[in-house]
Chain A
């Protein structure tokens, strides 16, 4: 038993094998993987469609040869192998968009074959070689894809920018799904996905070049700005360094001056303290002198007050004396008047004489009082006694 390989290249999609043509000594078997299928066509009828199995004794071998010879096997046995998994097909196209710009690219179709659709490939093999490859399938569907899908979709694009929009991709896929179903269904394929890939158009290349030039210019501009910024930074740095150095020098000078000033200030403070102590000393001396003077003044004032008191006492004594004298005189005159009245000697002349003498006596009293009250006052405000020759307060002589 030997293994039969129906597929030698990854581009092979399907193959129709005439089992009767396989004349080998050992019988052949084929292993069908999950993405492979085999439809048995026996005597022109589609039989089972197998997958995921080991198809034993599919062709060749002595027993099958013998059966053919004695006529106990089928007259015609064909095996249709096919890939059922999804496969991508790239279909080149050229077209124009609405503004006349030429567009080149590829339409990608992702196709899959259902298990029950495998026999439909007979439609293809009826008019083509018994092996279907990617190129073969593309050659069949390309024209229809261009005519039914690519051209109508490109016609709806007003500019190259529309080619890049999601809307265009969706429309392309939907159009492919709808328009290609007939052909693909006839061949047994199911479309899973479709999308276009377009090369850059001439105008896009111009735009790209423009963008590159612009980017270059912008880059240069950025470099210039960076250089200017660098110079500016250098300038600022230099200025800052100079300023810092100046500030340092200034601070040093200021510090030196401060030190000198502080030194001078210290000396001045010392001098000031010295002067202060001298002033205090002088002030103390002066205060002592003032205290002495105050003490003298106080003593003088006390003495003066004592003299004043004695004077006041004397005046009071004098006034008492005069009062007593006047009272005794009044009593005497009254007694004299009463005695004169009793003796009948009270005449107007006597009365007149008595009044005259009394008036004279009053005058004498008043003049005595005036003499007593005419006291002198010194320029310092001290009241001077008539007997004083100088002011006891200020020491000025009394004229």
Chain B
């Protein structure tokens, strides 16, 4: 295990604004950090889902099936993301015995940067979902467009979160250091 790289400290600070307890995968806290990040993503996605549920309920009851359908699609996308995140791999703790190599500076940098970006992205999705519900209430702006934009953002987030698997899977096998 190596120390936290200096150039990712701004990213760690950024994540710490949202997640208290996040320390950038320092020694012995890797699983905890991973769990914190995943829980935050799940929590934010649940927020998006709640906004979409409100939109769906109102539009369905008013007979606006088009918008209700879009909101339902977004809810489903949120469910997929939550399921992806909750069942995502988090790596192993016992690197020495498990055959994993210890994360290098490069790995940690990538992981921390990725955490920061995915949290930024999901936060953006929450903001758009909030705006869509707000625009529906005030009837200014295109609610459907915002709902679809939220869906797109959640889908992107889902795909982006998948990249985390690639980083973690890089730790699975001991590689010969050059």
**Chain B residues, Cβ within 8 Å of A84:** 86
A177 touching B72, Cβ below 8 Å? yes
**Chain B residues, Cβ within 8 Å of A86:** 83
**Chain A residues, Cβ within 8 Å of B113:** none
**Chain B residues, Cβ within 8 Å of A315:** none
A77 adjacent to chain B (CB < 8 Å): no
Chain A interface size range = 10 to 19
**Chain A residues, Cβ within 8 Å of B43:** 116
B107 adjacent to chain A (CB < 8 Å): no
A114 adjacent to chain B (CB < 8 Å): yes
List 9 A-B pairs, minimum CB-CB distance, nearest first. A178-B60, A192-B79, A178-B57, A174-B60, A34-B87, A174-B68, A34-B86, A174-B72, A114-B46
Distance, CA A116 to CA B35, complexed state (A)? 14
A115 adjacent to chain B (CB < 8 Å): yes
**Chain A residues, Cβ within 8 Å of B53:** 181
**Chain A residues, Cβ within 8 Å of B46:** 114
Query: Interface digits, A310-329 against B, CB 8 Å rule (1 contact, 0 not)?
Result: 00000000000000000000
**Chain B residues, Cβ within 8 Å of A112:** 79, 83
B61 adjacent to chain A (CB < 8 Å): yes
What total of A-B pairs shows CB separation below 8 Å?
Answer: 40
**Chain B residues, Cβ within 8 Å of A177:** 56, 60, 72, 75
**Chain A residues, Cβ within 8 Å of B35:** 52
Query: Interface digits, A60-89 against B, CB 8 Å rule (1 contact, 0 not)?
Result: 000000000000000000000000101000
Distance, CA A273 to CA B165, complexed state (A)? 107
Q: In the complex, what's the smallest C-beta–C-beta distance from A381 to chain B, in angstroms?
A: 125
**Chain B residues, Cβ within 8 Å of A170:** 69
Distance, CA A86 to CA B61, complexed state (A)? 27
Closest to B75 in A: A177
Q: In the complex, what's the smallest C-beta–C-beta distance from A32 to chain B, in angstroms?
A: 12
Q: In the complex, what's the smallest C-beta–C-beta distance from B147 to chain A, in angstroms?
A: 15
B130 adjacent to chain A (CB < 8 Å): no
| Supplied contacts A34-B86, A174-B65, 10 more A-B pairs, CB within 8 Å | A52-B90, A86-B83, A112-B79, A115-B39, A116-B43, A173-B72, A177-B72, A177-B75, A178-B56, A178-B57
**Chain A residues, Cβ within 8 Å of B61:** 178
Query: Interface digits, A225-243 against B, CB 8 Å rule (1 contact, 0 not)?
Result: 0000000000000000000
A-B contact pairs, 14 of them (CB 8 A): A34-B87, A35-B86, A114-B82, A115-B42, A115-B86, A174-B60, A174-B68, A174-B72, A175-B60, A177-B60, A178-B56, A178-B57, A178-B60, A193-B76
Distance, CA A192 to CA B61, complexed state (A)? 19
Q: In the complex, what's the smallest C-beta–C-beta distance from B37 to chain A, in angstroms?
A: 13
Distance, CA A170 to CA B76, complexed state (A)? 13
Q: In the complex, what's the smallest C-beta–C-beta distance from B87 to chain A, in angstroms?
A: 6
**Chain A residues, Cβ within 8 Å of B79:** 112, 190, 192
**Chain A residues, Cβ within 8 Å of B75:** 177
Closest to B34 in A: A52
Query: Interface digits, A106-141 against B, CB 8 Å rule (1 contact, 0 not)?
Result: 000000101110000000000000000000000000
Interface hits, B56-79 → A, CB 8 Å: 56-57, 60-61, 65, 68-69, 72, 75-76, 79
Q: In the complex, what's the smallest C-beta–C-beta distance from B165 to chain A, in angstroms?
A: 15
**Chain A residues, Cβ within 8 Å of B56:** 174, 177-178
Closest to A171 in B: B65
**Chain B residues, Cβ within 8 Å of A174:** 56, 60, 65, 68-69, 72
Interface hits, A313-361 → B, CB 8 Å: none
Closest to A84 in B: B86
**Chain B residues, Cβ within 8 Å of A114:** 42, 46, 82
Distance, CA A173 to CA B73, complexed state (A)? 12
Distance, CA A190 to CA B49, complexed state (A)? 11
Interface hits, A200-219 → B, CB 8 Å: none
Distance, CA A34 to CA B86, complexed state (A)? 7
Closest to A110 in B: B79
